Amino acid sequence: MPAMRPVTASDLAAVEAVHADLILGSASRQGKLYADLSKIAPTVMTDGGGGQWKLNLRLIGEALGRTNDAEQLLIDYDREAAETRRAIRASGAAGARKPRVAVVRATADGGLRFAKRDSFAGTLLSDAGVAQVGTVADADAVLLSSDPGATRSVPGHPSRVDAELWWGAGGALAARTALGELQRALAP
């Protein structure tokens, strides 16, 4: 069965009409609908925070009866994170210390947002063995994305990255893609 777009209260009849075997939702988006959704089919809610993407992957794997597949995705990710760490270290991007990286998003209102440590981006940086910093001035590399209409720039030569990827809820495939972007930024 194909996945549906995020469900709202007005979509409950449509959800019921597809006769789902399982409903996967996000606590931050559909948490208030849990009781109604649970009446339709068994319902599993994941944590909406991107910093919990590994736990969410395990939870979804368990709900689908595919725990081994979920663990294999995480094993593959861990291997790629280790390869990224080695490549960054071998490049000498920051000398003897850990490279410092800022994940920045230019907003339409002219501001800059920096990824939090407990975000999807924060977990990636930690797993890749780099230090996350909260200012452009302290960074050896800046991973910059922009909201539509954003005009603010940052000094230096930031690496352009996909906002959906770095600021999203994450997942194994997104993480592996983001590790590639990080490696290109630090160890070209």
Q: Residues in the chain, how many?
A: 188
Residue 63 pLDDT class (50, 70, 90 cuts): very high
Place of tokens 């709900």: 63
Share the mean pLDDT of the chain: 91
Residue 2 pLDDT class (50, 70, 90 cuts): low
- 5 pLDDT exceeds 80? no
Tell me, what's the pLDDT at 93? 67
* HSE-CB for 58 with a 13 A CA cutoff: 6
**Alpha-carbon distance 156 to 56, whole Å?**
36
- 4 pLDDT exceeds 80? no
Of the candidates 119, 109, 173, which has an alpha carbon nearest to the alpha carbon of residue 146? 109
Tell me, what's the pLDDT at 129? 94
**Alpha-carbon distance 100 to 182, whole Å?**
12
Q: What is the 3-state secondary structure (H, E, C) of the chain?
A: CCCCCCCCHHHHHHHHHCCCCCEEEEHHHHHHHHHHHHHHCCEEEECCCHHHHHHHHHHHHHHCCCHHHHHHHHHHHHHHHHHHHHHHHHHCCCCCCCCEEEEEEECCCCCEEECCCCCHHHHHHHHCCCEECCCCCCCCEEEEEECCCCCCCCCCCCEECCHHHHHCCCCHHHHHHHHHHHHHHHCC
- 1 pLDDT exceeds 60? no
Task: Give the type of residue at 177.
Answer: T
Tens of pLDDT, residue by residue over 101-137, are 999 999 999 999 999 999 999 999 999 999 999 999 9
Tens of pLDDT, residue by residue over 21-61, are 999 888 888 889 999 999 999 999 998 678 899 999 999 99
Mean pLDDT of 74-96: 89
User: Which is higher by pLDDT, 4 or 117?
Assistant: 117
Tell me, what's the pLDDT at 75? 97
Query: Start-end ranges of CATH 3.40.50.1980 in the chain?
Result: 67-186
User: Which is higher by pLDDT, 92 or 14?
Assistant: 14
67-186 belongs to CATH 3.30.460.10: no
Q: What angle do CA 80, 85, 90 make, to 5 degrees?
A: 125
CB 63 within 8 A of CB 103: no
Residue 17 pLDDT class (50, 70, 90 cuts): very high
**Alpha-carbon distance 144 to 135, whole Å?**
12
Tell me, what's the pLDDT at 150? 92
How many other C-beta atoms are found inside a 10 Å radius of the C-beta of residue 55?
12
